[in-house]
Amino acid sequence: MPTIFDNLKIGNLTLPNRIIMAPLTRMRSKQPGNIPWELNATYYAQRASAGFILTEATQVSQQGQGYPGTPGIHSKEQVQGWKLVTDAVHKNGGHIFLQLWHVGRISHSSHQPNNSLPVAPSAIAAKNSGTFTADWKPTAILTPRALEASELPGIIQDYVNAAKNAKDAGFDGVEVHMANGYLLDEFLQDGSNKRTDEFGGSIQNRVKFPMQVLDAVINVFGKDRVGVRLSPYGTFNDMSDSNPIELFTYVIDELNQKQIAFLDMIEPRATSAGGGDDVNENAPSTTKLFRKKFKGIFISAGGYKTEDAKKAIETGEVDAVAFGRIFIANPDLPKRIKTNAALNPYDRSTFYGGNEKGYTDYPALS
C-alpha cells in the first residue's frame, strides 16, 4: 500500500514523496518584461522539498498573457530569469516543471500586441469573468476575436519555442495547461468552441488543436517529461460542455496513446481556481470518473486536506496530490505533514501581486 512519503517515478525522475506543489499564479515577475527574478527564485527554492514543483502558469507568447505580472517564457531575459529559479530549486535538491499557458479569451487588449483583441476558438465572451488591465485596474472580459485556422500553426510554434526555452532554462519538464477555461480548454469544450471548420463540431475535431500542441511539445521534451492539466466539470471562466464524460474520456484515450509522463486533474469541487475558498462537496469527482481510464501517473488537485490526500494515495485512488493554498503558506509542507505539525494559515489578500509579504516570509519549522 503506497504512502504519501513513498518515492514516485515520473519518467526517469525519482520523486522523494507524492506531495506536489500545484501551479499557483502569483503575479510577481519583474517589470517591464514579465521576467522571473531573485524573489521568485527564493520562493520556489523554499518549497523544493515537494515531490516536484509545478510553476505558476507561464505565457508562451505576448498574445498568451491575460493578467499583469505573470511571467513569460518567450524572451531571452525571461529564460535567464527562469534559470535563476531552476538553479535555486536544483541546488536545494528539488525538481521543477514549467506550466505552459495561453489564456485565450481570458485577457484584455492592454496585454495584447498592438492593443488588439484577445483570441479564442470562437467570438464568445466569458460571462461573469474578469481580469486586470496591464496597469492593474479590474476590468470585464472582452469579446474575443475568433482565430483563423491559418493562425493555429503559429500558436503551435509559440509552444515549441516556449518548450525549447524551458529546456534551456533548466526545467526538468513541462506541463501543458489544458484546463480552467484558457485557450486549449476553450477548444476542447463546446460551450466555448462553436467553430464549423475542422477544429470545431465533433469531439474529434475539438480535440485536434490541443493534441497538435501537445505533440509539438513532446517533440521538444520527450513524452516522459511532459504532463497535461485538465479540469472536467470546471465552471471557472464560464466553461461548460454538453457531454463532459464522452469528451474527457476521448481526451484521456489520446493521452494514453501518447504515453505522457502524468495527468494532473482538478477536482471541480474547488472550481474557483484560487479565487475563493468555497468547496462544493456535491460536485462530481473527476478522480472517480476518470482515474481508471488513465494508464499513467495520475495527480489530483483541488480542495484536499492532508488526511484526505494520504487516504487517496493509500487506497490507490491517485498516485500523488497537488496542494496549492497550503503550499503558499507552508514552504516546508512535506515536513509538516510528516511530523503532524500545525500549518501556517494563508493570507488571501497577499496571493496576487506585491512583494515578499505573503510570498517568501512564511516561516518554516525551526
Q: Which residues are catalytic?
A: 182
Residue 230, C-alpha cell as written in the block: 485538465
Listed residue (96, 208, 189, 253) closest to 216, CA to CA = 208
Q: How many CB atoms lie within 10 A of CB 49?
A: 20
Listed residue (299, 343, 317, 311) closest to 97, CA to CA = 299
Distance CA 336, CA 350 (A): 22
**With contact defined as beta carbons under 8 Å apart, do 313 and 319 qualify?**
yes
**With contact defined as beta carbons under 8 Å apart, do 81 and 36 qualify?**
yes
Cα 88 to Cα 28, 170, 172, 176, 358: the distances in Å are: 17, 11, 13, 23, 20
Longest dimension (CA), the chain: 60
**Residue bearing cell 517515478:** 9
Cα 229 to Cα 32, 168, 221, 298, 361: the distances in Å are: 29, 23, 17, 10, 29
Residue 119: strand pairing partners: 145
Residue 28, C-alpha cell as written in the block: 510577481
SS3 54: strand
